[in-house]
Amino acid sequence: MRAALAAVVLLAACGSNPYETKVEGIRLADADKVVEAEPGPVVKLTLEELEPAIPEVPAARLVIARDVSWDRVQKTLARFDEAKVRPIILVGTAGKLGALVLSDAISEQSIHLTATADGKFCVGPPTTGEARCTKSVSGAHIPRNYVREEIRAAVKAYRLTDVDVVLDPNMWWVDVVHALDGARTCCKGTTINVKIVG
């Protein structure tokens, strides 16, 4: 009986993760707040292919490897813009496919969120340069749950629902997604608008 149970556990451990989403072998960053992923040709941005060809179409699906830097993502988005192609940025959401909105419209008064490549993020009010900073225990990645907690506290304290975000160019794409998604999903029943400003 124990041997059979151990075999089942081992098989489960070797199987694919139902919460991971892959497109053409590339594991996507995950997000909870997504929009529908429109159809279109796939453009893959990976460490092996940092300057992918942009097809001559109105819109294309952009698949970004988790370990590509934010700087490289920005450069690719600029190339999409130059080619007049609308990027549909693919992310995973509970094992399914979704698309990420990078920036929302926000008002002049917004909570400040700054995230860096060493897994640290800081949250502060719109009126001062002060901020409360948090870093993951591992120091490697932005912890989305911590972002949710800090933004939730800031929304309650400052009575604001807009967040401006400054991102380190060297951050991994997965951390960019987690910073944005953590802020957007902080507060159940409240829409939080998030805009990348730097």
pLDDT digits 0-9 by tens, 44-64: 999 999 999 999 999 999 999
Q: Left if phi > 0, otherwise alpha if psi is -120 to 50, otherwise beta: which for 166? A: beta
- Tell me which amino acid residue 28 is: L
In this structure, is residue 69 part of a structural domain?
A: yes
In this structure, is residue 7 part of a structural domain?
A: no
Residue 112's alpha-carbon distances to 10, 90, 120, 155, 160, in angstroms, are: 45, 26, 14, 11, 11
CATH code of residue 159: 3.30.420
The pTM of the full predicted model, rounded to 2 decimals, is 0.88
In this structure, is residue 85 part of a structural domain?
A: yes
Residue 5 has pLDDT above 90, yes or no: no
Q: Extract the tokens encoding 38.
A: 């429109």
Q: Are 62 and 89 in contact (CB under 8 A)?
A: yes
In this structure, is residue 12 part of a structural domain?
A: no
Domain boundary among 46, 71, 99: 99
Domain boundary among 35, 68, 99: 99
pLDDT digits 0-9 by tens, 132-190: 999 877 767 899 999 999 999 999 999 999 999 999 999 999 999 999 999 999 999 99
Lowest mean pLDDT, pick from 15-24, 28-37, 95-104: 15-24
Task: Match 């008002």 to its residue by tokens.
Answer: 107
Domain boundary among 47, 74, 99: 99
Q: Tell me the angle at which helices 70-82 and 173-184 cross, rounded to the nearest 10 degrees.
A: 90
Mean pLDDT, the chain, rounded, equals 90
The number of folded domains in the chain is 2
Query: Domain range for residue 93?
Result: 22-99
In this structure, is residue 13 part of a structural domain?
A: no
In this structure, is residue 106 part of a structural domain?
A: no
Res 187: pLDDT:
96
In this structure, is residue 191 part of a structural domain?
A: yes
Q: Are 66 and 46 in contact (CB under 8 A)?
A: no
Same domain, 91 and 143: no
Same domain, 150 and 174: yes
Same domain, 116 and 190: yes
In this structure, is residue 9 part of a structural domain?
A: no
